[in-house]
Amino acid sequence: MSERSRVLIAIGGGIAAYKVCEVISTLFKSGVEVRGILTDQAQQFITPLTIATLSRHPAYTDQDFWQPSHTRPLHIELGEWADLIIIAPLTANSLGKLAQGLADNLLTNTILASACPVLLAPAMNTEMWEQVSVQRNWGLLLQDQRYHSLEPDAGLLACDRVGKGRMAEPNEIITAVHSLLFTQGKRDLKGKQILISAGGTQEYLDPVRFMGNPSTGKMGVALAQAALHRGATVTLVHAPLNIPLPKNCRTVPVTTAAQMQAAMLEYCTDADWIVMAAAVADVKPAHTASEKLPKQDIPSHLPLTPVPDIIAQLAQQKRSQQQLIGFAAQTGDFVKPALEKLTRKKLDVIAANPIDQENAGFGSDENYAVFLAAGGRREQVPPCSKLEMAHRLYDFILHGVGINAESL
């Protein structure tokens, strides 16, 4: 992400305001410069001192807004300063004002005085959220391409009602923030259908033992999140995962390579891009027991049999307008075998990953890669978050960003 990105967090009046503390703290620790605005109602739930302490910058209120200024008006300064504005929680009151282009406080004036993307995280009682007038305002506001939404979750609300209205969790907000800071709000994958595989498949010897690998699926999930944030329609075929799945996409859980093969072949027809980020097994036990094997009955030499080569089958069925993207997790000289795989499997693009380097292997939150294209293009991506890696891969496919024209 860009150095010292500037994020303005506008906090509305709702109990979910406490969640903003984690958002501010996490963004600050990641190197983002953060400032905060609190409405009068927000101060009933959280104090300006809390926001100022976490952001290391004075928090702004309507009292500051209405004070005479010896420089430029505060809402103009803040609106021009921000690379991104978050409104969390977004109340029904602020939603209605923004939908109609009204401005009577610091929050709403700052929004109208800015041109940067705005991330909306509504929170309210279920009955309030489902009101026809609120949904009309929500739909009207989202017609403006500046606004990006994190719809409320369902669950137990502070009013003891169980239903939709919970503000998105901090980790979801933070992920969306980093995406928007990278893309500057562009939706350049809108209209594209992207099929992604994630995680490590498992091949069972018996009901409790399996052959597998350390893949956590973090890269595949990041690819899905980045595509969704850029406007794509996403299908995520995933092996067993212990991380949250993205919202607003079709998720297809599988366990074995054969199940992943069936799912990928089922959904590949409608896909514009197919991204095979899963770590699929190469072999499986030749025989699977229906009951747990006693320890003494486990064979000392386990007969193995190959599993389907999913990406090779996808390449055989690929239409001319489709893009097929693979990953190659390697040790040592990781570029050469990836380039061979690119040619052998007839891929359009491959991402070569050195899994024996620090912060680049299975389970890491970061990644390092060299992107290789069938036409001879390449881009070396320095260590970065897997979300940023996903965005850089999409940029490479779309625009050839960072292409090195040297022959491979």
202/240 Cα distance (integer angstroms) = 8
111/177 Cα distance (integer angstroms) = 17
CA distances from 375 to 25, 88, 343, 347 (A): 44, 45, 10, 10
DSSP H or E stretch at residue 84? strand 84-90
- HSE of 198 in the Cβ direction (CA atoms, 13 Å)? 31
The active-site residue out of 21, 159, 249, 268 is 159
- At 169, list the tokens: 């969790």
- At 273, list the tokens: 């891009």
75/321 Cα distance (integer angstroms) = 47
Reply yes or no on whether 159 is catalytic.
Answer: yes
22/80 Cα distance (integer angstroms) = 25
304/247 Cα distance (integer angstroms) = 38
Q: Which are the catalytic amino acids? A: 159
